[in-house]
Structure 1
Amino acid sequence: MRIGFMDSGVGGLTVLGKAIRELPCAQFLYYADTGHAPYGTRSREQVLDMVHAIVEFLVDKGSDAIVLACNTATGIAVSSLRNRFALPVIGMEPAVKPAVENHCNHGKDAVLHKRILVLATPLTLQQEKFRDLVDKVDTDHIVDVLPAPSLVEYAENGIFSGTEVEGYIRHLFEGRDMQRVSAVVLGCTHFLYFRDLLIRILPPGILLIDGNEGTVRRLVSVLTETYGTAKVASCKNAGNSSCIDFYDTGHVPMAALKQNSYLKLLDGSVQQVKGEMQI
């Protein structure tokens, strides 16, 4: 089974890592549109055109399913992609629902005195799909949003720590009473690379919640519904190694040096996979 992943860059590797743990025998294609990153500061029309072109390429390469490992791409393109292509298209959305559910499980006092902060790209926060999500689950009006456009660029440049990015994050939170926040939703796959830094900066006890695990659960569920239990089970044979084909902007195979840097980032999140990654 071949599963195509796309993102504007390295962020989707955080989702791919979880998918490999669940389906270690599947074949994966990963398209990093780094030449157009970051998506979150581009126009809706630009992102729509780019994502459709990438998914068409991945479908032509024989993908049995597509994962939009990008919240911005999902918000803009997932509906039109599902209308255009017959295969499963799995999208992502900021994990607002589990954050709200967890928040409400702490009782009335939490609802009255604590809030949830969604950290995402500007374009994700502007999309009707995101606003509809918040309207549906945030009945107590406890969700706030905070755009963080530069975090994607820091991640793409491999800057995951240090005084510059730490200063940027601290500046984001200036003027906010973070003691009143119960959870921060990481609404962009790139933001997971800053988890350790965020834990150090934020007050103790704030949960960091992302949608990666839920996305992979949905992927496995949809694959099972579409192709059957036996075929999906065959992809869970951890005795075999995962095969990953990397592609870059322009539908070209990724350069070896860049592939190696991606594999290093991926290896950090796929410590349980047996065998070697093959390119």
Structure 2
Amino acid sequence: MEVQLVTEAGPRGGIKLAQHVIGMFDSGVGGLTVMKEIVTQLPDVQIIYFGDTARVPYGNRSREELIHFGEEIISFLIEQGAEAIVVACNTSSANAVPVLREQFNLPLIGTIEPGAKAAIQATATGNIGLIATEATVRSKAYSSAVRRILSKRRGGHAIELVKAQACPLFVPLVEAGLSHSPEARGIARTYLAPIQEAQVDALILGCTHYPFLAPVIQEILGEEIILVDPAQAMTEELKEVLKQLEYNRESGQETHKAPGHHRFFVSGDPVLFERVGNTLLPGQIHDVNQVNWNR
């Protein structure tokens, strides 16, 4: 397989050299919510971001498709110089990451374990909720992660993921730039009704697109419900990965350094990605490259 870059972004002058190059991908703009957290805490890291906007949404894809997409994108990001991969997509993390970790010899950080740990820390009542894509809900990856983490602990009150709600229309709304529209509010009220009935006190935003809708979700659920965004916990995990990469460098195993400007690639419309993405990262997304997969 080879790829064709439809547009090309040149390097910018006066850019500080980054210490490490991190590849990141999502089905679209959602992973930018993770990128925002990473660049806030790790400003010297260079990120190469891939949004698979030609194939969004991922929520109705089969596990086989998701693995195939991940193989393509991770291979591309490695070709661009990525030293580690952040899978900023819950659907891919839930369905494809276990297989992808066996195929690629570099660190892969997903959303599931960090999100589950953050929810366990956030809940006071022990009732955790989840909103996610259909594929993520169907995988039961979050409920399995909660049980796995709790099995390693002793004592404390009972904690359980009591309600998982699929929200298939949320991703198309965000990709279309309609996060704050009346349509978004109406759809959110319908999706969140079962969450309210379950009386959760911590709600995992189990898709990286959903923080775009966080103000609407919080307004409907009320301030007493904690919205758990896995992005911060993922950033903490990335810090540990970077420590190991730095150790490898100091040991003479790695000497690569790269220009520190972030780079953006999409498989669909670069103009729409730039417009919607800049609502979250104002002025930071430009010169978006479009990639065609040639099979």
Instruction: Please report the TM-score for the alignment, with normalisation by the length of structure 1.
Output: 0.81
Corresponding residue of 1:265: 279
- Aligned-pair identity in percent equals 31
8 Å Cα contact 1:52-1:77 kept in structure 2: no
8 Å Cα contact 2:26-2:88 kept in structure 1: yes
Counterparts of 1:265 and 1:168 in 2: how far apart (Å)? 21
Instruction: Give, as a single letter, the amino acid of the residue that structure 2 aligns with 1:248.
Output: V
Alpha-carbon RMSD across the aligned residues, in angstroms, is 2.6
Corresponding residue of 1:245: 263
The alpha carbon displacement at 1:178 in A equals 4.2
8 Å Cα contact 1:243-1:278 kept in structure 2: no
Counterparts of 1:22-37 in structure 2, within 5 Å, are: 22-37=41-56
Change (3 A) 1:142 1:92: closer
SS across alignment from 1:34: coil
1:9 maps to 2:28 = yes
Among 85, 100, 104, the alignment partner of 2:120 is 100
Counterparts of 1:262 and 1:120 in 2: how far apart (Å)? 20
8 Å Cα contact 2:165-2:195 kept in structure 1: no
Counterparts of 2:285 and 2:61 in 1: how far apart (Å)? 33
Counterparts of 2:131 and 2:243 in 1: how far apart (Å)? 32
1:165-197 CA-to-partner distances (Å, cap 9, x unmatched) read 111011113355448221211111000001111
Corresponding residue of 1:150: 169
Change (3 A) 1:44 1:64: same
> Post-superposition, which runs of at least 4 consecutive aligned residues in structure 1 deviate over 6 A?
none
Change (3 A) 1:185 1:131: closer
Matched residue pairs, number?
A: 252
Among 56, 64, 79, the alignment partner of 1:45 is 64
Counterparts of 1:115-130 in structure 2, within 5 Å, are: 115-127=127-139, 129-130=141-142
Tell me which protein shows more helix as a share of its residues: 1
| 83-92 or 133-142, which deviates more | 133-142
Counterparts of 1:263 and 1:156 in 2: how far apart (Å)? 9
Corresponding residue of 2:147: 135
1:73 maps to 2:83 = no
8 Å Cα contact 1:243-1:277 kept in structure 2: no
The gaps in structure 2 that reach 5 residues or longer are 1-19, 151-157, 251-258, 288-295
Counterparts of 2:121 and 2:134 in 1: how far apart (Å)? 24
The alpha carbon displacement at 1:132 in A equals 2.0
Counterparts of 1:27 and 1:173 in 2: how far apart (Å)? 37
Corresponding residue of 1:222: 241
Counterparts of 2:249 and 2:41 in 1: how far apart (Å)? 15
Instruction: Give, as a single letter, the amino acid of the residue that structure 2 aligns with 1:247.
Output: F
Instruction: Give, as a single letter, the amino acid of the residue that structure 2 aligns with 1:120.
Output: A
8 Å Cα contact 2:170-2:210 kept in structure 1: yes
Instruction: Give, as a single letter, the amino acid of the residue that structure 2 aligns with 1:166.
Output: R
The alpha carbon displacement at 1:142 in A equals 5.0
8 Å Cα contact 2:129-2:195 kept in structure 1: no
1:131-176 CA-to-partner distances (Å, cap 9, x unmatched) read 4213335654452111111101101111111221111011113355
The gaps in structure 1 that reach 5 residues or longer are 232-240, 271-275
Instruction: Please report the TM-score for the alignment, with normalisation by the length of structure 2.
Output: 0.77
Instruction: Give, as a single letter, the amino acid of the residue that structure 2 aligns with 1:265.
Output: T
1:213-256 CA-to-partner distances (Å, cap 9, x unmatched) read 0101111111211332988xxxxxxxxx9512111128xxx74x
